[in-house]
């Protein structure tokens, strides 16, 4: 078939993606007798690039917003109220210096790279940053953009009985702004919401809810689940023919397969890991979640998000305002940094030793950074104007620094990077074409990333 909107004659299915020019001219399709949904369906295969099948991503979402000036973008020559209490140390990479409170990072710095020029124009509240950094966009007009993992679920599907998109240990809690946090399927629908563990994998005798063997689930419970479709058929025949019913049917069967799958139970079974490996990751919620993430991608899960914390309230987190109920800089040093340093370095080393790192991107993102100056309470406040993120694996070249901030870490001065660029980078690591389109709200084509946003190509070069 000819693509009459192309700059040259080509077969429709042979093109890699719907081009910008085609998008602008798509209104002329009706003259060809081809509907927009038909055209997009034919083009959608171009969203997946060759070699995608072995690709995966682990997103470590540093909920609360780490202080870039105290950790990854230190300013030792700045005034004391800017540089903070910590000293920079050299690492295994000649390009990278980081904080003395991350000594295990220093030993593996040849495996990860830092982007020190991230920023966004969203409100300086957690929820707004969560949306932008996990979807690449701020939610507007009632449209909720899908999480990167939901996009991977939609375009790549799943392998075997395991879900394609998993969140560990559970979904984000409250952020203070009462906004959707972006950790869902958005307009792609509930079918692409993540499987959330909703359990602490560091607890003794940890078991995943609903993944126990069928005999332990109980005959009554299984029978009730198996009868769900029969109830729908008997009560509302018209509903049975609808899209909602089809989705319910598919979700039910997927959930049932997951519950009864030996593959799924084995993937989630941390007791199969040697005690020394579990110790290496750290016997805490975040450490064991990172270990579980490695097991899941090893067994075919496409995208795993690990939330370092569940909320900024009531626990010691990256949210270092300095006064209760939040954390101080010392609290970050004594509690948060040791567990993050241990688990992150263990994950990178483990993936590398198993030969998984080359195809598994590990992205360390957060909703924003912290203010360049220490506040009167001895902490730092929210600062979306400049912050640092990390990337490893999935084709990333380690040991590099991309971008630069000003002398106090307040604003990017070289290679500014927006959330859409970070999302495009992750999509490239997953083997997805960032220039492709999704079926968006009201059937309109929706670009995977905003027009003009690009992967950070220096990370792959």
Mean pLDDT of 176-191: 93
pLDDT at 436 over 60: yes
Tokens of 425: 């980078």
Tokens of 277: 């490996």
Report the range of poorest mean pLDDT among 81-95, 244-258, 304-318: 244-258
pLDDT at 235: 52
How long a stretch of residues is the chain?
A: 461
pLDDT at 32 over 50: no
pLDDT at 22 over 70: no
pLDDT at 95 over 50: yes
pLDDT-based confidence at residue 31 (cuts at 50, 70, 90): very low
pLDDT at 404 over 90: yes
List domains and CATH numbers for the chain. Answer: 54-206+264-436+455-459 (3.40.720), 212-260 (no CATH)
pLDDT at 394: 97
How many whole angstroms from its chain centre is CA 405?
24
Higher pLDDT, 40 or 328: 328
Is 102:112 a contact under the CB 8 Å cutoff?
no
pLDDT at 108 over 90: yes
Report the range of poorest mean pLDDT among 26-35, 360-369, 404-413: 26-35
Distance separating alpha carbons of residues 417 and 129, to the nearest angstrom: 14
pLDDT at 152: 97
* pLDDT > 90: percent of the chain: 71
pLDDT at 344 over 90: yes
pLDDT at 411: 98
Peptide bond into 400 cis (omega under 30): no
pLDDT at 2: 30
Distance separating alpha carbons of residues 240 and 243, to the nearest angstrom: 8
Q: Quick: pLDDT tens for 255-279.
A: 666 767 888 999 999 999 999 999 9
Tokens of 325: 């109920």
Mean pLDDT of 34-48: 54
pLDDT-based confidence at residue 243 (cuts at 50, 70, 90): low
Q: Quick: pLDDT tens for 121-174.
A: 999 999 999 999 999 999 999 999 999 999 999 999 998 889 999 999 999 988
pLDDT at 241: 55
3-state SS of 373-422?
CCCCCCCCCEECCCEEEEEECCCCCCCCEECEECCCCCCEEECCECHHHH
Chain-wide mean pLDDT for the chain?
86
* pLDDT > 70: percent of the chain: 79
**Hey, what's the torsion of the CAs at 63, 64, 65, 71, to 10 degrees?**
-90
pLDDT at 46: 80
Side-chain-side CA neighbours of 46 within 13 Å: the count stands at 20
Residue with tokens 């429709």: 12
User: What DSSP assignment string belongs to 254-269?
Assistant: HHHHHHT-HHHHHHT-
How many whole angstroms from its chain centre is CA 71?
21
Distance separating alpha carbons of residues 55 and 304, to the nearest angstrom: 12
């Amino acid at each position: 078939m000819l693509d009459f909107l192309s700059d040259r004659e080509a077969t429709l299915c042979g093109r890699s993606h719907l081009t910008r020019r085609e998008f602008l001219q798509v209104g002329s399709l009706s003259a060809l007798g081809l509907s927009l949904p038909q055209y997009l369906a034919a083009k959608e295969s171009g969203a997946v690039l060759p070699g995608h099948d072995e690709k995966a991503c682990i997103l470590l979402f540093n909920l609360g917003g780490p202080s870039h000036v105290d950790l990854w973008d230190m300013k030792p020559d700045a005034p004391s109220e800017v540089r903070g209490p910590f000293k920079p140390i050299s690492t295994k990479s000649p390009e990278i210096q980081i904080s003395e409170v991350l000594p295990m990072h220093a030993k593996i710095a040849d495996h990860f790279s830092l982007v020190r020029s991230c920023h966004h124009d969203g409100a300086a509240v957690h929820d707004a940053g969560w949306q932008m950094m996990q979807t690449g966009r701020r939610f507007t007009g009632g449209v909720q953009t899908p999480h990167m993992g939901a996009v991977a679920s939609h375009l790549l599907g799943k392998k075997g009985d395991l879900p394609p998109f998993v969140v560990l240990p559970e979904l984000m809690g409250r952020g203070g702004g009462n906004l959707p946090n972006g950790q869902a399927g958005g307009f792609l629908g509930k079918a692409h919401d993540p499987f959330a563990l909703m359990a602490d994998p560091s607890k003794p005798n940890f078991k995943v809810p609903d993944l126990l063997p069928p005999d332990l689930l109980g005959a009554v419970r299984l029978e009730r689940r198996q009868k769900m479709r029969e109830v729908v058929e008997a009560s509302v025949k018209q509903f049975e023919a609808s899209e909602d019913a089809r989705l319910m049917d598919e979700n039910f069967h997927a959930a049932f397969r997951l519950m009864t799958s030996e593959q799924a139970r084995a993937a989630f079974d941390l007791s199969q890991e040697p005690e020394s490996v579990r110790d290496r990751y750290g016997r805490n919620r975040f450490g064991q979640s990172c270990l579980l993430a490695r097991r899941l991608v090893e067994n075919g899960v496409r995208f795993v998000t690990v939330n370092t914390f569940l909320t900024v309230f009531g626990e010691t987190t990256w949210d270092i305002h300095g006064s209760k109920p939040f954390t101080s800089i010392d609290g970050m040093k004594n509690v948060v940094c040791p567990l993050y340093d241990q688990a992150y370095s263990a994950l990178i080393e483990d993936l590398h030793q198993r030969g998984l790192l080359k195809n598994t991107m590990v992205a360390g993102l957060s909703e924003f950074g912290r203010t360049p100056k220490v506040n009167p309470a001895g902490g730092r406040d929210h600062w979306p104007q400049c912050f640092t993120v990390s990337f490893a694996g999935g084709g990333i070249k380690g040991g590099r620094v991309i971008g630069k901030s000003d002398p106090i870490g307040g604003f990017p001065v070289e290679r500014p990077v927006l959330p859409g660029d970070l999302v495009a980078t992750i999509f490239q690591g997953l083997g997805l074409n960032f220039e492709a389109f999704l079926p968006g709200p009201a059937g309109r084509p929706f670009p995977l990333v905003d027009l003009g946003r690009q992967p950070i190509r220096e990370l792959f070069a």
